[in-house]
Amino acid sequence: MHTIVSKQCLSPNVTRLDVQAPRIAQIRQPGQFVIVHHSEGAERIPLTIADADPAAGTIALVIQSVGKSTRDLVALEPGQAIADIVGPLGHPTEMIESGRALCIGGGVGTAVVHPIAQGLHKRGVKVTSIIGGRSKEWVIFEAELRRLGEVIVCTDDGSYGRKGFVTDAAKDVLAGGGIGIVYAVGPVPMMRAVVNLTKPLGVRTIVSLNPVMIDGTGMCGGCRVSVGGETRFACVDGPEFDGHGVNFDELMDRLSAYREYEQKSLACAEENCRLKQTLPS
Domains and CATH numbers, the chain: 2-89 (2.40.30.10), 100-208 (3.40.50.80)
DSSP string, 178-225: ---EEEEES-HHHHHHHHHHHTTTT--EEEE-GGG-SSSSSSS-TTEE
Q: Are 63 and 112 in contact (CB under 8 A)?
A: no
Angle at 56 between CA 53 and CA 62, to 5 degrees: 45
* Confidence tier at 219 by pLDDT (50, 70, 90): low
pLDDT at 82 over 60: yes
- Provide the whole-model pTM: 0.85
pLDDT at position 265 is: 46
By three-state DSSP, how is residue 7 classified?
Answer: strand
* Residue among 202, 203, 201, 184 at smallest CA distance from 248: 184
pLDDT tens for residues 166-175?
999 999 999 9
Going from the C-alpha of 19 to that of each of 33, 72, 95, 157, the distances in angstroms are 14, 15, 27, 34
Q: Are strands 205-208 and 181-185 parallel, antiparallel or unpaired?
A: parallel
Q: Which amino acid is at 186?
A: G
pLDDT at position 271 is: 47
Q: Write the CB contacts of 108 (distance below 8 Å, at least 6 apart in sequence).
A: 14, 62, 64, 140, 186
Percent share of the chain, pLDDT over 70: 86
Q: Are 170 and 194 in contact (CB under 8 A)?
A: yes
pLDDT at position 99 is: 94
* Residue among 200, 175, 188, 170 at smallest CA distance from 241: 188
pLDDT at 39 over 90: no
pLDDT at 162 over 60: yes
Q: Which amino acid is at 272?
A: N
* Confidence tier at 138 by pLDDT (50, 70, 90): very high
